[in-house]
Structure 1
Amino acid sequence: MVAFLRGFVYAMGGCSGGWVQRTVERYNCEKNSWWWIAAMNCARTRGDAAVLNDKIYVAGGNNGQNYLNSVEVYDPDTNQWTFVAPMHSQRTAFSCVALHGCLYALGGFNGSSFSLSTEKYDPAEDTWTEIPAMNIYSYYFHAEVIDDTIFVMGGNFDAYAHLSWNVSYFDNKENQWCKVTNMNVCRYALSICVIKNLPNASDYAYKHTDKLIEEKRKNKWLIWRTPVRSRLPRRRTH
């Protein structure tokens, strides 16, 4: 898990040599150096982190044996991690973002189900509340906030490695999820970020969108026209 707070980059947990870590280190951009800080209370991998109210929240993940619903918060003034109310669902490979003073936990996998509800945390009440589920089931995707709106992109949407190019956003006023234009390619275990005031944004746009859309259309037509029997996997003979 990674977060940015007060000019520092924080790296938390993860795996090293097969061991799930609870260690945390902080990167000073000006000095180009890493420093150890207080370790988390739980070892975690495949969780997620977000900054809310000048603190870092880390939620969910896996400790190498169990899926987690626990949540802890780091206070940079005291260099301490403290548990807060746990999520309703255990979650791994999900995404966590902060919006309008609340923490949102989106999607993921709990060891048996991909159809996890979306929930948000109110730090003033120390409570989690379920909100409308995303309009796609997904894990190993990523979410970011753009213009006070949560966007979710890519990932897997079932247990059969069906990758997604879906993009959705949460309409906070209508309290519902809406679809927007798909990405050009499917992406799994991706990462996204927001860059403000980029003057040459068009330089980063995909240059062959029309060609790619035509290829998608042809591929769908070919799959539809192919006899079902020829699309089934062949049995092995011994």
Structure 2
Amino acid sequence: MNVRRRNLSVAVLRGAVYAMGGFDEHRDHRTAERYDSKTNQWSWIAPMNTARSNACAALLNDKIYFAGGCDGYNVLDSVEVYHPDTNRWTFVAPMITGRANFSFVAFNACLYALGGHNTTSSELSTEKYDPTENKWTKIPSMDAYSSDLNAEVMNDKIFVIGGYYEANNFGVKCFNDKENRWYQLPNMNVFRCLLSICVIKNLPNASDYS
């Protein structure tokens, strides 16, 4: 990359990898860059409005939404969106709660902010963003507070895995938006935080794993 980054966020949009924000032992970055696998090159895109590390990125409607994190002094509630056609970042409505080290996923045309912590609490509400109304609303709590967790969407549900929980970090939960409720799933065999998870689509034997 063009600069060193840790605690950054990444997203894949239109076949390119975007690396945004992060920290380099001296400062939080507001810069962002894009990797083109065809040319094997990183190139700068427009810088963000706010420097952020420990933030989260998610894709929705062919745009990158970048939310929360830290600016070196404060935990942020602000959210900005990158428009690839204009190479511009613009702010949208801030989250109800500032948060860092959380998980952020797109699900059924909305964005969900899950878990995390801020300077006053690690017991944060769960909330979702509707871009048609530019509004955040609270949804039912996960019933366990966590940071450094990860979430993915599979089989029309949100799965939240691992993280620093109140009691342990073996936990797995899933959210069913049709019922507007969370379900506790069997725990992992090993406790994990600061983990990464992914969904591999179109496996011919997917039912063996679900």
Contact 1:163 1:188 survives alignment (8 Å):
no
Any residues of structure 2 matched to 1:53-132 within 5 Å, and which? 53-132=61-140
Runs (5+) with no aligned partner, structure 2: 1-8
Contact 1:92 1:108 survives alignment (8 Å):
yes
CA displacement at 1:114 relative to structure 2: 1.4
Q: 2:172 aligns with which of 143, 167, 171?
A: 167
Q: 1:146 aligns with which of 148, 154, 157?
A: 154
Identify the structure with the greater strand proportion: 2
Give, in whole Å, the separation in 1 of the partners of 2:173 and 2:30.
32
SS in 2 for 1:129: strand
Q: CA offsets, 1:150-192, max 9 Å, x none? A: 100000024xxx6501010001111011011111101111111
SS in 2 for 1:169: strand
CA displacement at 1:135 relative to structure 2: 2.2
Give, in whole Å, the separation in 2 of the partners of 1:94 and 1:41.
20
Contact 1:114 1:157 survives alignment (8 Å):
no
Residues 1:28 and 2:42 are matched in the alignment: no
Residues 1:196 and 2:201 are matched in the alignment: yes
Larger radius of gyration: 1
Give, in whole Å, the separation in 1 of the partners of 2:143 and 2:169.
13
Give, in whole Å, the separation in 1 of the partners of 2:202 and 2:189.
23
Q: 1:52 aligns with which of 55, 60, 73?
A: 60
CA displacement at 1:102 relative to structure 2: 0.5
SS in 1 for 2:196: coil
What amino acid is the match of 2:175? F
Identify the structure with the greater helix proportion: 1
Q: TM-score, normalised by structure 1?
A: 0.81
CA displacement at 1:142 relative to structure 2: 0.4
CA displacement at 1:198 relative to structure 2: 3.5
CA displacement at 1:115 relative to structure 2: 1.2
CA displacement at 1:19 relative to structure 2: 1.1
Q: 1:185 aligns with which of 190, 193, 206?
A: 190
Give, in whole Å, the separation in 2 of the partners of 1:147 and 1:20.
36
How many percent identity over aligned positions?
59
Runs (4+) off by over 6 Å: none
Instruction: Supply the RMSD in Å over aligned alpha carbons.
Output: 1.7
CA displacement at 1:31 relative to structure 2: 1.7
Runs (5+) with no aligned partner, structure 1: 206-238
Paired positions, count: 201
